[in-house]
Amino acid sequence: MSKVDLGRTAGLVLGRGGLIAVIVATAIGLVWTLAIAALHVNISIGNHAAYDVLVASPLDVRPDLVADAEIQYATINFVPAIPDATAVLLESVGVGSRYAVGMLAGLMIIWLAVQLLRKRSFGIGTAVMLGVLAAGMLAVAIISPMLEAQAVALAVEAAGLPTEPSTPTFGESDETWVIPPTPHWQGFDFSLLALGVVTGFCSLLLRRASKLQDEAEGLI
């Protein structure tokens, strides 16, 4: 029994020229992504570290605001004079992992195109690669936001910024304070998480389909 699947049909539709174009375009995209990732990590994070943090201010500090609440909140861009090494490392790992999972998806595309060029069916090997991609997506969706939040908290602590209101002996405090983010499940990248779940299901289905096809061939 010959293997006839959607992979070969797609290969016939695209043709060798189309598949080669896909491989070349994806390879160029991988090189471009690697270059952008290096610039982002080395320059934007390593040499020009900056963090968005939430700041709380008593109303006495901002009399122009409507006095419906005792405290007003705003987001500012905090640039430390001397970046904390641990904070830079955590943010670099968090941001770099996002680029890494994108490059892994690009490698998966190249693998599929090569398989079509060789007129090979999508079997267990493809299912395993999809599973690895799904695991990477799930890990990055959970770990990367937590690392980035922890990096901001460490940067705020290293700079010595106040993280709670002061308690003066007389009168009320008129000083602002910073509210650094804390790693929490609500900060997960849910879009990437959902994509990882879908990719994982595709891996399981493809693996099951390959086994069923091999078993059917063995009966003939």
pLDDT (tens digit per residue) in 49-61: 888 888 887 765 4
Q: Hunting for tokens 């079509």 — which residue is that?
A: 116
pLDDT in tens, 43-97: 888 888 888 888 887 765 455 555 555 778 888 888 888 889 999 999 999 999 9
Instruction: Give me the residue spans of the domains in the chain.
Output: 6-49+82-161+184-218
How sure is the predictor about 105, in pLDDT bands with cuts at 50, 70 and 90? very high
Take residue 147 and report the two structure tokens written for it.
């690392």
| Candidate from 135-139, 141-145, 146-150, 215-219 with smallest mean pLDDT | 215-219
Residue at token pair 């879908």 = 198
Could you tell me the CA-to-CA distances from 127 to 24, 130, 205, 206 in Å, in that order? 23, 5, 8, 6
pLDDT tens digits, residue range 145-171?
Answer: 999 999 999 999 998 888 887 665 444
pLDDT above 80: residue 210 = no
Question: How much is the pTM?
Answer: 0.78
- Distance between CA 137 and CA 139 in Å, rounded? 5
Confidence at 101, pLDDT banded by 50, 70, 90: very high
Q: What is the largest CA-CA distance in the chain?
A: 91
H/E element, 71: strand 71-78
| pLDDT at site 44 | 82
Q: Give the highest mean pLDDT range of 12-21, 37-46, 92-101, 165-174.
A: 92-101
| Cα distances (Å, whole numbers) of residue 202 to 40, 95, 175 | 32, 26, 54
8 A C-beta contact, residue 7 and residue 130: no
State the pLDDT at residue 2: 43
pLDDT at position 130 is 92
Terminal-to-terminal C-alpha distance of the chain: 7
Tell me, what DSSP letter sits at residue 185? G
Q: List all residues 6 or more positions away from 203 whose beta carbon is below 8 Å from its beta carbon.
A: 127, 128, 130, 131, 133, 134
Element (H, E) at 26: helix 6-39
Distances (CA, A) of 203 to 79, 115, 126, 130: 43, 16, 8, 5
Residues belonging to the chain: 220
